[in-house]
Amino acid sequence: MSAGAPIGVLFVCLGNICRSPTAAGVFAARVAAAGLGPRFRIDSAGTGDWHLGKPPDPRTRRAARARGYDLETLRARRVEPADFHRFDYILAMDGANLRDLERLRPANFPGRLDLFLRAAGSPAEPEVPDPYGGDAGHFEQVLDLIERGAEHLLATLRARHGI
């Protein structure tokens, strides 16, 4: 990462319609509230390709909207090798996502590939569970974990990058 360049943060899940768009939207809201919008480049992607071009799941959008996050304009895309050149932090929602990303990671990737919640400092409970087959409560749990994680991640990155 060159000095002054925005810090690139990519959130990754399986479908890119539930967890990672939520994480990108919530983290972007925290960053904007801190007045740090220009210091970050934030995106999300999925390891799977079933939902390419689709907006986030209606249950995800509804739960996010109820807490003031607008995920309407996001569209699903698949993670690609070039992401390892564009992002400094590639943060997986669960262990399966992380293993898939480790297979794509170039040997010379200089950034950090990790679980989102572990990078955010929650090593005891490091996964955001897949809510796709679940009920509304699972989507609320996803938002709870992501809101807490986004707060901690921003504090961690501010300290590490001195901003």
Residue span binding ligand 4NP (CB under 6 A) among the ranges 16-24, 78-86, 145-153, 154-162 = 16-24
Under rule CB under 6 A, residue 62 binds ligand 4NP? no
Under rule CB under 6 A, residue 149 binds ligand 4NP? no
Name the residue nearer to ligand 4NP (CB basis): 15 or 111: 15
State how beta strands 112-115 and 40-46 pair: unpaired
What CA–CA distance (Å, rounded) separates 20 from 149?
12
Residue of 121, 122, 132, 141 interacting with ligand 4NP (CB under 6 A): 132
The yes-or-no answer on residue 158 being catalytic is no
Under rule CB under 6 A, residue 117 binds ligand 4NP? no
Residue span binding ligand 4NP (CB under 6 A) among the ranges 1-9, 11-19, 100-108, 148-156 = 11-19
User: Measured from the CB of residue 61, what is the shortest distance to ligand 4NP in angstroms?
Assistant: 12
Neighbour-count burial of 38, counting CB atoms closer than 10 A to its CB (0-12 exposed, 13-18 middle, 19+ buried): exposed
What CA–CA distance (Å, rounded) separates 8 from 84?
10
SS3 content of the chain, % helix, strand, coil (to 5): 45, 15, 40
The yes-or-no answer on residue 19 being catalytic is yes
Under rule CB under 6 A, residue 130 binds ligand 4NP? yes
Three-state secondary structure readout of 109-145? CCCEEEEHHHHCCCCCCCCCCCCCCCCHHHHHHHHHH
Check residue 78 and report its DSSP letter.
B
What CA–CA distance (Å, rounded) separates 112 from 91?
8
Under rule CB under 6 A, residue 109 binds ligand 4NP? no
Q: Which residues bind ligand 4NP (CB under 6 A)?
A: 13-19, 50, 130, 132
